[in-house]
A and B are shown apart, each in its own frame.
Chain A
Amino acid sequence: MPLLTASRVIVVAGKGGVGKTTVTAVVARAAADAGRRVLVVELDGKPALGALVDEIPLQSIDAPSALDEYLREHGFARIAKRLSSTGVIEVVGTAAPGIDDIVVLGKIKQLERSGEYDVIVVDGPAAGHATTFLTSARGLLDAARSGPVHRQAREVVDLLADPARCQVVLVAMPETTPVNEVVETAYALEERVGVQLGPVVVNGVDVAEGEPPLDADALDALDAADGVLDDDDREALRAAAEFRIARRQMQRAELARLAEELALTQVHLPALPVAGVDADGVRRLAAALTAEVGL
């Protein structure tokens, strides 16, 4: 599945806590390791992403500076000066909702058009803002019928609608609520934005590895091991095994439900035995991603 060659811009989206920033870093790392010129874009001012992607170029985009830059480049330098000197941008953004999203997406479009990068991975906005972020262009196209904002909105709509230029990668975890949320987001994006959806990346999948496997046979062996282990150890081993087996069963059930409710390819990233993924973990996951989807 050509995840990394299907489009130049990959917007990574997902609700809080599912590992959206990690997946952004993993996709960027996989592309960079495959020799592509990669740019990572972040929108939340999160310092964490920089440490995860090491030497891959990272650009932060925020709405006020993107608007300012846009106005300067389009012959509104004097207005830009006036607007920023009076701090009006917040009010402007409020009066015309979505204008801040449009200038940010417009900046991404400009980077895409520059041809400097083969792949631009965007760590999308947090929480439930992803859908609003991507629908803002269509909304503004109707609200502002002419002028610079209208032109910008038009170009952004064109970018989002073109599967060869842009796709959205949704992130989930193999648990009930994250699965529900990713299904909801996928339908909302399809209906309201019409953007191409890439594979769903599922984070933290506890894949059973190693031989012999941890299963019912292993538990049976405990009963047979009378005398070899003291009682406390045996019961603790049993509880640990039952816990792990139950978690894996729950995950499998949720992955099956995700497959049933959403007709998108799933990419599974393994759970690492860590409390939060670092740059090294990102490399391991990128290798897993590459092995799973190819490039």
Chain B
Amino acid sequence: MSAKRRSGLAGALHGAEVIVCCGSGGVGKTTTAAVLGIEAARDGRRVVVVTIDPARRLADALGLTDGLAAEPQHIELADPPGELWAMMLDTTATFDGLVRRYAADESQARRILDNRFYRNIAGALSGTQEYMAAETLHALHGDERFDQVIVDTPPSRNALDFLEAPGVLTRFLDHKLFKVMMLPARRGMGVFNLAAQPVLRATGKVVGSDVLADAVAFFQAFAGMESGFRERADDVLALLRSDVTRFVLVASPRHDTIDEAMWFAGQLARQDLSVSAAIMNRVHPTFGTWSAQQARKRAGEASGPAAALWRNAAELADIVAAERGVAEPLVKAIEGAALAEVPLLRGDVHDLDGLAQIGAALFDRQ
């Protein structure tokens, strides 16, 4: 790739207030988010990194001996013109906070928060985690302590939900079952009459009547809160679509993760959003100016230890060529976006120095 595109990473992220890191599992999304956070703090910004992944290793690398918490914690950097904060997403607590905010009074909030059905869906309903990530991001964006919010997303098949997450809850509210369940609240029917509804009777036979009764009680308690939730969802979506938000794809040069990154780029494009930058982690470094074929030829000509050295050079060149080939479609697909690489390191990243080393590679300061 050209030096011009590589140096583009700083430019692509300039002025960002929200950075969303997307990619499949195991490509180093969380580490990348932390590195971008350190870089922003170096630039004098007050930045908070929100991670969905409860990675112990990241907490260790940031010097947080007690792990990441659900509240932003200040990270001590050596000479930071800005500030770095980090926190972990707590889906259930965030949902609880929304319920408290939009409940008409304490007793409505209590009825929902204590409901068993709610306790189940708060953490488990598909899309809830993504919705709460978007919600947290929105809240932090409005928090005066921070200039920039960086978030990593769940593995990318779900990251679609992240984009659509604000809509997930409203779709849920538009759900037929929800409407059936909301009827009695409007008509003054009791839970018993409600349970006689054919759909609910069917549901109850499969999952048991207790489970059903909890669900009905939840929906009834929820009555009146929909509009608050809907408005909030619209605000979050507007933020994700605004030009202060940047999407960064994280991948490694392997078929499956490149496919996921391209799939995600396509999803963004479908929503009229664009990728600002792509970061390729774990790229094998290039040694020498020879091709794999040339190195192999020299290995054949050499004898003794020199043959081993050239054989190694050929094998590494094979991998580099394969990686280039596999990354090519992504590079083409996101033409115009900044592109940066992090070389495959000899060992694991376990401290701030290691993170800084990745930052130097990403922002071309080596």
Contacts and interface: CB of A to CB of B under 8 A. Distances in A.
Interface in A54-98: 71, 76, 78-79, 82-83, 86-88, 90-92, 94-97
A237 interface: yes
A251 B206 CA distance: 50
A233 B290 CA distance: 9
Given A243-B346, A275-B322, A87 B207 contact: no
Interface stretch (B188-196, B225-233, B255-263, B357-365): B255-263
B208 to A, nearest CB: 5
B311 interface: yes
A78 B203 CA distance: 11
Contacts of B155: 16, 126-127
A220 B316 CA distance: 20
Contacts of A149: 206-208
Contacts of B207: 92, 95-96, 99, 144, 149
A126 B25 contact: yes
A273 B315 contact: yes
B100 interface: no
A277 B348 CA distance: 24
Given A21-B256, A176-B348, A221 B309 contact: yes
A218 B308 contact: yes
Majority secondary structure, B binding face: helix
A275 B202 contact: no
B57 interface: yes
Given A275-B253, A275-B319, A86 B287 contact: no
A175 B256 CA distance: 19
Contacts of A35: none
A193 to B, nearest CB: 19
Majority secondary structure, A binding face: helix
Interface in B84-125: 117, 120-121, 124-125
Contact of B176 (A87, A97, A147, A148): A87
A16 B24 contact: yes
Given A48-B256, A232-B289, A243-B287, A221 B306 contact: yes
> Nearest 6 A-B pairs (CB), nearest first?
A17-B26, A16-B25, A276-B255, A236-B288, A221-B305, A240-B287
Interface of B: 24-27, 55-57, 117, 120-121, 124-126, 154-155, 157, 175-177, 198-199, 202-203, 205-208, 211-212, 214-215, 252-259, 285, 287-290, 304-313, 315-316, 318-319, 322-323, 325-327, 344, 346-348, 350
Interface of A: 15-18, 21, 44, 48, 71, 76, 78-79, 82-83, 86-88, 90-92, 94-97, 99, 126-127, 143-149, 175-178, 180, 210, 212-215, 217-222, 225, 228, 232-233, 236-237, 239-241, 243-244, 246-247, 250, 273-276, 278
20 contacts: A82-B198, A82-B202, A83-B199, A86-B176, A94-B126, A144-B208, A180-B57, A212-B307, A214-B312, A217-B305, A218-B309, A237-B310, A239-B287, A243-B285, A243-B287, A250-B346, A273-B315, A273-B322, A275-B254, A275-B327
